[in-house]
Structure 1
């Protein structure tokens, strides 16, 4: 080893970000292991590399004792003082024992250590880069597909898109460029493993943040997301500025913003609804595109009863209950949907806008007559918040 070797290490420090001291310490440890393997494993020794010249030396380390039981590890006080009169019992005597033919072994070992450390450093850099991006979107090209698992090329590494994280019905093939959501970054012996998803609700949220400047600026806030990947999603948005329409901002001019997201998600339908701090209004909005007559809420149980016109019942529930299911996920409320006819059958006294508690109908009627039900909120058609149902090939309707 010489100064050229040290210069090479300093170049690596600049290029790869690996400290020279870390490399030298690793090389010293590796050389010590090689020395013990080739020249006596039982000997207590250490290897020192000169930080200025790059020269290395091997030292035997022996403890000064009264009685020597192992000459490889101990030295008598008399012999130690013959080397240096200042030695006393318990001191460590270091003697250079560098083998003549150790240079070739040292060079080979140093090369292996440096290469290994470079690989570890590159893996750590990649890990640190991506672990801070968990919950973000990355764009990559599908490199290969093995047993339905897609491997996406990201430059210095690759991401894994498992079958369970793929959108139903989406065609994946090598060479296809797609956006995915980073779910988790794991550190493994073979380097970082990046797990991504196309079904995670976070993907929809991030796509809107990329497309809608008002979301990036914080004027519009995306409150919640409910998603059944590949078929339909709902998002609830809220504007901090009363002059900015949150739904219109997400839809964009001629629907271009939301249409770009629909195209990216392979035609997935997206409902954009207006968030409202009033739970009953928010529940009503969440059932878009169905119109709502009125909503009754039980705050403690987070249960809401929604009354819809007879002809809107199937629309409110949705195909296989999808619309109601997504509305429940979006709001975090359990939603019971009833038509006006069903309410009249359950409660003959029911008039449009009146509500009854199954557990105590008579008390409820008395309370309604005397004071009115405070938690009941009625919606007239002209006052209904206008929601938007976005479909890939249909016109955007407000």
Structure 2
């Protein structure tokens, strides 16, 4: 080893934030394995790397015993006292056994260990950065598509957009810039694994936070979201300031704010619903764009019966029941929708 090597370790400590002592400890452990692999695995050894020069010394270790059963691991008490009268039973006797060509092996091992530790440290830094960003939105570019997964370049690492997290019929082309929602960050042996989603309701919420200052500032609150990704979303909003219209704030001037979100979601329809603590009002609002004539609620089993004009029945139910389904999910109530004529014949 050389002074250049010590200087390199100091630079790594400065640039990568890896403690020099941690590197030395890792190097010494790796050198023990290298010694045993090359010069005999049956012996106990200690490797010492001098912190100021990088010089490497190998010491064999033998335990002081009365009766020697393995002379590679043990030494008789009488022999030990010949070396040093102060030795007692169970002490460890060390003897320098550094091989002549061990410097070359040490240099090779050191390079491998340092590279590995740098890689581990960089992975750790990436993991710490992204574990704190779960449930946040992130922007990246599509790097590749393989086996149904879309891999998104985030700069320092890649995120995985699994098949179930992709918006139906959305096409992902190389270098496309897209926003995703971080669902989970795992620390694996191969480094951090970041799973993202384009279908999670949280993506819609975060997009509104980005586009609507009143939500970002806490004046307007998102109370609930129900979503069928790629098709339609309902979002219930509430204003803590009676002078601020929560729906208007989310729609924006000439619909500009909500249109930005619709564009990001490739045309997904978004119904912005005014939240109310009064179940009747909230349930009625949730069936937008349909107009509700009357609603009766049963708080005990959270069921509601809603009456709409005849010509609005199909609108209230929606294509394949989607509008009613999203309204029920948004409010948490089971909703039974009837037309005026149906009620009269009941």
What TM-score range do you get, normalising by the shorter chain?
over 0.9
Task: State the 1:210 CA deviation.
Answer: 0.3
2:24 counterpart SS class: helix
Q: Return the offset for 1:110.
A: 0.7
Paired with 1:172 and 1:109, the residues of 2 have a C-alpha distance of 43
Unaligned runs of 5+ residues in structure 2 are: none
Match of 2:108 in 1: 108
Aligned residue number for residue 2 of structure 1: 2
Partner of 1:141: 141
Q: Secondary structure at the match of 1:313?
A: helix
**Structure 1: how far apart are the matches of 2:186 and 2:267?**
32
- Give the aligned partner of residue 315 of structure 2: 315
Superposed CA deviations along residues 225-249 of structure 1, whole A, max 9, x for unmatched, are 1111111110000011111111111
Output aligned runs, 1:361-372, within 5 Å: none
CA offsets per residue over residues 175-231 of structure 1, 9 Å max, x none?
A: 211111111222233222222111111110100000011111111100111111111
Give 1:100 deviation, angstroms.
1.4
Question: Following TM superposition, by how much is the alpha carbon of 1:8 offset from its aligned partner in structure 2, in angstroms?
Answer: 0.8
Distance 1:66 1:178 in 2: 73
- Please name the residue that 2:171 is paired with: 171
The SS at the match of 2:86 is coil
> Does the 8 Å CA contact 2:56/2:103 hold for their aligned counterparts?
no
Distance 1:175 1:38 in 2: 49
Secondary structure of the residue that 1:288 maps to in structure 2?
coil
Q: TM-score, with normalisation over the residues of structure 2? A: 0.97
Number of residue pairs aligned between Structure 1 and Structure 2? 346
* DSSP-derived class of the 2:330 partner: helix
- CA distance in structure 1 between the aligned counterparts of 2:209 and 2:132, rounded to whole angstroms: 18
Q: Aligned residue for 1:59? A: 59
Q: What is the DSSP-based 3-state SS (H/G/I as helix, E as strand, rest coil) of the residue aligned with 1:88? A: coil
Q: How does 1:243-258 map to 2 (within 5 A)?
A: 243-258=243-258
TM-superposed deviation, 1:254: 1.2
Which deviates more, 57-66 or 141-150?
Answer: 141-150
- Kindly state the Cα deviation for residue 331 of structure 1 after the two structures are TM-superposed: 0.7
Take 2:271 and 2:337, find their aligned partners in 1: how far apart are those partners? 19
Alignment partners' CA distance in 1, 2:76 and 2:339: 100
SS at match of 1:87: coil
For 1:146 and 1:58, the matched residues in 2 are separated by: 49
Listed one character per residue, the Cα deviations across residues 135-175 of structure 1 (whole Å, up to 9, x for unaligned) are: 11111111122244221111121112222222122222112
Distance of 1:170 and 1:219 partners within structure 2:
34
SS in 1 for 2:193: strand
Which residue of 2 is the match for residue 127 of structure 1? Answer: 127
Q: Which has the larger radius of gyration?
A: 1
Q: Give the whole-Å Cα distance in 2 for the aligned partners of 1:51 and 1:158.
A: 37
The residue that corresponds to 1:283 in the other structure is 283
Match of 1:235 in 2: 235
SS where residue 52 of structure 1 aligns? coil
Look up the match of 1:260: 260
